[in-house]
Amino acid sequence: MSKDLKILVASSDPSYFAQLDPLFAGYATERLAPDDIPVEFDRISPDFVLMVHSDKENTVEAIQYMVSLNPQVRVAVVARSQNFELLREVTRAGAIDFFVLPEEMTLLHNRMPLILQQVEQLKKSEQETSASVFKKGRGQIYSFYSAKGGSGKTLIAANFAQTLKLESTANVLLIDLNLQYGGIETLFSIDSARSLADLQPVVEELNEGHIHNVTEREPHSQLEILLSPADGEIAEKVTDQFIASLLRVCRRNFDFVIVDLPTEMNAVTYTAMEEADRIFYVLTPDTPSIRTFKKAETLFFRLGMNTNERLRMIYNRIGNHSELQPKDMDEFVSYPVEMVVRQDIKGLQSPLNKGEPLRKTANEKKIPPFAKDIQKWVHGLIT
Ligand SMILES: Nc1ncnc2c1ncn2[C@@H]1O[C@H](COP(=O)(O)OP(=O)(O)OP(=O)(O)O)[C@@H](O)[C@H]1O
Ligand SMILES: [Mg+2]
């Protein structure tokens, strides 16, 4: 039997890796802490996952997450004690087997070759019929960040989301993570008491329905928006674990999740960047912004954030009179530049003052240069 399966062993306790490794001798095996699954799962794309349950992490959610990304993945769970509730829940989430260690180590050793054989057969038959298997696309999370205030994160994130919604068939959700002060609601003149904080009490069973109940819809594009509580006291109670769960559920239910971040680097901001498929760093053409960007880069490194392949630059407010031009900015930047947005004071003034969105219908002829630049970007992404 060929051994061309990819195996993932997930455990937050590394001592399990040595114990479980002999089960997969000869197979391509990767080891991960369950917390790293959201970031690494796509890259590894395992056929079989052995997941060690510990009380710290949410095993059920991790399984749901993996199965939602790849319905063909087979998952077995290892627990430290008999736990019928867990057994029921992981089975419902899609796990195919459950072992209690150390008691069932021998059983696990005896069963594993059989399990892998089945996984391999399944994989083969799926490959043969793959044309008819529908694979749900993985929702993309795009986070917009800059360590410098007022650089255009909110304006770009919001206009990007709205344009994407207007000019494609994608389901798009815009999330305002400026928990303390908000911002998106003023941009779109939305007056609502509902916010993403309303979802925190139901985080354990969070589903699509809950999210739709709390979102607002921008009337022109029908873009769904999860507003910020815009309240310091409530903001303090929003945890990074909640934001991680929220983003994962959103990813499963939308094609694009656009996240507008505050400049402050805290656990919530960090989480929204870690969960993101792309981080767009908005940089304006002036020395203070470059200096702040360099500091942010050092901070990302210190925090152990993986920015490779994920972080891209947006140069904003570029014009003839800018202190720096894109080629000058390139000298300070090692990340790819996703796009360049023009300085557009005239075009933005009236909509911003009136609290009107920059876009109202698809393919409008007369839109401000700022919105044109974003439109060009969106078209490049979806075609
Ligand atoms: N391309 C542009 N041309 C002209 N003005 C711009 C442009 N981009 C941003 N601005 C101006 O900068 C202001 C701040 O933008 P925005 O609120 O999007 O920044 P931010 O990075 O989200 O700020 P904060 O750090 O406060 O969240 C806008 O209200 C607008 O007046
Ligand atoms: Mg902002």
- Domain boundary assignment for the chain: 6-132, 140-382
Nearest CA to ligand 1 atom 25: 149
Distance 268 CA to ligand 1 centre (A): 22
Taking the C-alpha atoms of residue 317 and residue 320, their distance in angstroms, rounded to an integer, is 10
Distance 187 CA to ligand 2 centre (A): 10
The atom of ligand 1 lying closest to the CA of 317 is 1
Nearest CA to ligand 1 atom 23: 150
Q: What is the pLDDT of residues 191-203, one digit of tens each?
A: 999 999 999 999 9
The atom of ligand 1 lying closest to the CA of 284 is 8
Distance 176 CA to ligand 2 centre (A): 9
The atom of ligand 1 lying closest to the CA of 316 is 1
Mean pLDDT in consecutive groups of 10 residues from the start of the chain, 383 residues: 82 93 92 89 89 83 87 91 88 89 93 92 71 53 97 98 92 96 95 95 90 95 96 95 93 93 95 95 97 96 89 97 95 96 96 93 91 95 81
pLDDT at residue 358, as a whole number? 94
Pocket test for ligand 1, best of 154, 265, 374 (most atoms within 8 A of CB): 154
Q: Within 10 Å of residue 208's Cβ, how many Cβ atoms?
A: 12
Q: Closest ligand to 369 CA?
A: 1
Q: Closest ligand to 282 CA?
A: 1
Spell out the SS3 assignment of 29-95: EEEECHHHHHHHHHHHCCCEEEEECCCCCCHHHHHHHHHHHCCCCEEEEEECCCCHHHHHHHHHHCE
pLDDT at residue 2, as a whole number? 52
Distance 176 CA to ligand 1 centre (A): 15
User: Which residue in 154, 146, 153, 157 sits closest to 294, CA to CA?
Assistant: 146
Distance 50 CA to ligand 2 centre (A): 41
In the CATH hierarchy, which fold is given to the domain comprising 6-132? Rossmann fold (3.40.50)
Taking the C-alpha atoms of residue 343 and residue 321, their distance in angstroms, rounded to an integer, is 9
pLDDT at residue 135, as a whole number? 38
The superfamily CATH assigns to domain 140-382 is: P-loop containing nucleotide triphosphate hydrolases (3.40.50.300)
Pocket test for ligand 1, best of 155, 186, 339 (most atoms within 8 A of CB): 155
pLDDT at residue 309, as a whole number? 84
pLDDT at residue 15, as a whole number? 93
Same CATH topology for 6-132 and 140-382: the answer is yes
User: Which residue in 31, 282, 327, 331 sits closest to 157, CA to CA?
Assistant: 282
